[in-house]
Structure 1
Amino acid sequence: MATEFPFSVRRATADDLDGLHQVMELSMAQLLDPFLTPQQVAASSEIMGLDSRLVEDGTYFVILSGNEIVGCGGWSRRETLFGGNHTAGRSDRLLDPASEPARVRAMYTHPEFTRRGIGRKILELCEGDAAREGFSTFQLMATLPGEPLYRACGYEVIENCEAATSDGTRVPLVRMEKVASAQ
């Protein structure tokens, strides 16, 4: 018997930005630690974070326990695959749903709320929204701690890669993709 999802869900607004940044910082600081060196963890904030375009586009979700943001994530119809407002190489080019995958972006869970279905719920919301806009394939750039969740949800590894920060630190990442099953 499936248990009911114990958290509330809504689309993020500009009023959520401070809370989103707090969850992201906690998540990176604590959940990356077992997988990366201290230098890589510290450097991760340069290549990760919130792209406020997702909030503006209405494709970013918050998961709440009461009034506290305990998870967040979204998807994009734009070309950029990962990174925050400060990340180099961003592109707002709109993707063609008939030939390009939607991007699943910026998924973070508060460290005290991991393994409670938050990541799965965000993926479900993202994939559902993107499918309603005509996308049948979804792509993301996973961190090492996120890869097992994405695999369990049907994503397959396209490539193992690294992102280099301004000081030359190389952070390992995994590009993954999922093709929606026919309904």
Structure 2
Amino acid sequence: MATTNDVAAIRALIEASVRRLQAKDYSAAQREGALATVFTIDSRLIVDGTYFVATVEDGRLAGCGGWSFRKTLYGGDHQVEHIAPERLDVTVDAAKIRAIFVHPDFARMGLGSLILQAAEEAAMAYGFERFEMGSTLTGVELYSLKGYREVNRIDVPVAGGESIQVVKMEKRGRLGR
């Protein structure tokens, strides 16, 4: 579980991940604009206890991510758009899978899949049976392999007058319900 003591390390991990792993999908200006707004820490996830960190043996942060029982689909404390902090209803709403990032040194080793699985299992234990996310273009392939389907694409404003495309995806939980 992430704590406020992890914030600096999470921020550095997100910056490294976005700058290196998302270069094929977003321009440098888009990535930097997103790092100033959308790809920032959502402190509400940490306070809610729904954000995880993965470390390696030497203590370095290798990945992070989680889920939320709140309406906000994506973004962080500094996003341009309105944040929807209202709680979801587990009987009708989908849990939000949020902010999964892997450090480039640990990419393509299954860590993103493990974080996704941990987030889904925690959301199911809370009572959710469906999930949705706002995926980066870079994450669509992985999430499609994990059973998510694309719903639509959203142009999200970021700093510097830029925008990025985010893909809304959804998945059914237990027993495909």
Q: If the TM-score is normalised by the length of the shorter chain, which range does it land in?
A: over 0.9
- Structure 2 unaligned segments of length 5 or more: list them: none
2:65 counterpart residue number: 73
Matched AA of 1:78: R
1:42 counterpart residue number: 32
Any idea what SS the aligned residue of 2:137 has?
coil
Q: Percent identity?
A: 34
User: Mean alpha-carbon deviation: is it higher for 162-171 or for 18-27?
Assistant: 162-171
Instruction: Please give the per-residue CA displacement for 1:9-59, whole angstroms capped at 9, x wherever unaligned.
Output: xx1111111100000011111111111122212212122221011111111
* 1:166 shift after superposition: 4.4
Any idea what SS the aligned residue of 2:25 has?
coil
CA RMSD across the alignment: 1.2
1:57 counterpart residue number: 48
1:82 counterpart residue number: 74
Alignment equivalent of 1:32, drawn from 22, 34, 45: 22
In 2, distance between residues paired with 1:19 and 1:95? Answer: 29
Q: Greater share of helix residues, 1 or 2?
A: 2
User: Mean alpha-carbon deviation: is it higher for 39-48 or for 55-64?
Assistant: 39-48
2:12 counterpart residue number: 22
- Structure 1 unaligned segments of length 5 or more: list them: 1-10
In 2, distance between residues paired with 1:165 and 1:14? Answer: 25
Alignment equivalent of 1:176, drawn from 163, 166, 169: 169
Stretches (4+) displaced over 2 A: 165-168
In 2, distance between residues paired with 1:165 and 1:22? Answer: 19
Matched AA of 1:101: A
- With normalisation by structure 1, the TM-score equals 0.91
RCO higher in structure (CA 8 A, sep ≥6): 2
- With normalisation by structure 2, the TM-score equals 0.94
* 1:168 shift after superposition: 2.8
Matched AA of 2:76: G
Instruction: Please give the per-residue CA displacement for 1:148-170, whole angstroms capped at 9, x wherever unaligned.
Output: 11001100000022101244312
Matched AA of 1:134: G
Alignment equivalent of 2:103, drawn from 92, 105, 110: 110
